[in-house]
Amino acid sequence: MDSFDLDIAIFGGGIAGLWTLARLRRAGYRVALFERRALGGVQSIASQGIIHGGTKYALTGRLTGSAMAIGEMPGIWRAALAGDGEVDLRTVRVLAPQQYLWSTGSLASGMAGFFAGKVMQSRMQALPAGGFPPPFDDPRFRGSVYRLDEPVLDARSLAEALATQYGEACGLVPASLAVERLPRGWRLVSPETGERRVAALVLAAGHGNAALLGQLGQDGPAMQTRPLHMIMVRGALPPLYAHCLGASANPRLTVTSYPMDDGRVVWYLGGQVAEEGVGRSPAAQIAAGRDELATLLPWMSFPDTEWATFAVDRAEVATGGGRRPDDAFVGETDGLFTCWPTKLAFAPRVARLVAGGLQRQGIGPQAGGVPDLGLARPPVARLPWDEVETWN
Ligand code: FAD
């Protein structure tokens, strides 16, 4: 039988890599995680932190087949947040236990029928007029509000929770690390780590997976990127966690909020405005954001607010036509797993698919500890608004 120094090496310390690390460590595997920059990732730390349960998929009429898996995700996260799940997330800050959907004016008739459907009724509750939360409790608001029982998490505290528990298994990837396939397993070599034999690799490097696959001589699975130009507004704002539905089923605007230590709140704006703003300059995107808020929340005003924007790509498995994949993706060949969760919410599913693949391939946990790889520990990633140099 081959002998390995490590059972698994994970590349990438975003949510996919960290959740998989936690799950496999708990299953007794000797796992190390190699990160290029910071724990918490690129997309994960930039995400809106929404633990989707599929409502957005249902809204687009695509809640079919494997996409149903998303429905299980909030339950898995809730168990982890309560400390009795497959990962311990008790220290993660839940920014909001629920979100809202609002529509201005009356819903398009197709959508009204849809809302009356059974699937949607089980996922969201229409609130009675008079029972709207702020800022929709204003008499000038005309429209409907629905409550979605899907929590919103603080992405930084999520990264911190996992870095605190599993940071000792994480190292900054050495610039000169060479990875070669062996007849069984892999050989990792660098001056820092020395030579290490590993049974399986997990690529959870988001955008970096394409380059890693190239370095390993693999010609797939193919990746697609879908860019976003997010908007941030900072000031004396009420916390708001809500999607605005427009004429199409994709949310026109998604607002999440982050309370700062100094009492101010950052509104983080995504949805169609972020997708359509990709070609805009930061100034033009800020102007578009101001227009959207004036149109969709016309009774509110935004004096003394500061604005900034942030561009980031979503990295996913390629789909025909570049549309969003409906499910998490884990590509599997001998001793190699390539992961794109598609959503933060899908991280547990990625870990489950990897664990199942390892079992299928007969790669089980070996006795012994994780060797000290002599690598520096990566820092925890900073939230996009903490990285802004100049607010406008
Ligand atoms: P990442 O978080 O990108 O992590 C990849 C990591 O790999 C990074 O740390 C990177 O430094 C590292 N890396 C890269 N190359 C290498 C290498 N060669 N070696 C080692 N490490 C490497 N999903 C939701 O469910 N809810 C949301 O509210 C939500 N909002 C979003 C908002 C935005 C703006 C974006 C961009 C995405 C959002 N998503 C959301 C999607 C979600 O964030 C992603 O699907 C998920 O975070 C991807 O996680 P990941 O671990 O695969 O990638």
Q: What is the C-alpha end-to-end distance of the chain, expressed in Å?
A: 62
Verify whether ligand 1 is closer than 6 Å to residue 12 (CB atom). yes
Contact 231, 286 (CB under 8 A): yes
58 pLDDT exceeds 70? no
Tokens (6 digits) for 124 = 């969201």
Q: What is the dihedral of CA 173, 177, 179, 185, to 10 degrees?
A: -60
Ligand 1 within 6 A of CB of 224: no
- For residue 16, the ligand 1 atom closest to its alpha carbon is 51
User: For residues 22 and 212, what is the distance between their CA atoms, to the nearest angstrom?
Assistant: 22
pLDDT digit string, tens, across residues 237-285: 999 999 998 777 678 999 999 999 999 999 999 999 999 999 999 999 9
| 227 contact partners, CB below 8 Å, separation of at least 6 | 278, 311, 312, 313, 314
Can you tell me whether residue 391 is helix, strand or coil?
coil
- The backbone torsions φ and ψ at residue 6, rounded to the nearest 5 degrees and listed phi first, read -135, 145
Report whether residue 43 contacts ligand 1, using a CB cutoff of 6 Å.
yes
Ligand 1 centroid, distance to 234 Cα (angstroms): 24
Asked if residue 215 lies in contact with residue 300, where contact means CB atoms within 8 angstroms, the answer is: no
Q: Is the pLDDT of residue 112 over 80?
A: no
Residue 105 pLDDT: 66
Lowest-confidence range among 25-34, 158-167, 240-249, 279-288? 240-249
Distance from C-alpha of 43 to C-alpha of 35, rounded to nearest angstrom: 14
Domain 6-44+158-222+320-387, CATH number (from 3.40.50.300, 3.30.499.10, 3.60.70.12, 3.50.50.60): 3.50.50.60
| Minimum CA distance residue for ligand 1 atom 30 | 47
pLDDT given at position 135? 95
C-beta of residue 307 within 8 angstroms of C-beta of residue 388: no
Residue 50 near ligand 1, beta carbon < 6 Å: yes
Which atom of ligand 1 is closest in space to residue 254's alpha carbon? 28
Domain ranges of the chain: 6-44+158-222+320-387, 96-151+225-317
For the domain 96-151+225-317, what is the CATH code? 3.30.9.10
Q: Which band of pLDDT confidence, cut at 50, 70 and 90, is reported for residue 109? A: very low
Q: If DSSP codes are grouped into helix, strand and coil, which group holds residue 7?
A: strand
Distance (angstroms) between ligand 1 centre and the Cα of 230 equals 15
Helices (H), ranges, the chain:
15-26, 43-46, 55-59, 73-81, 109-116, 118-123, 155-166, 209-215, 272-276, 282-296, 347-360
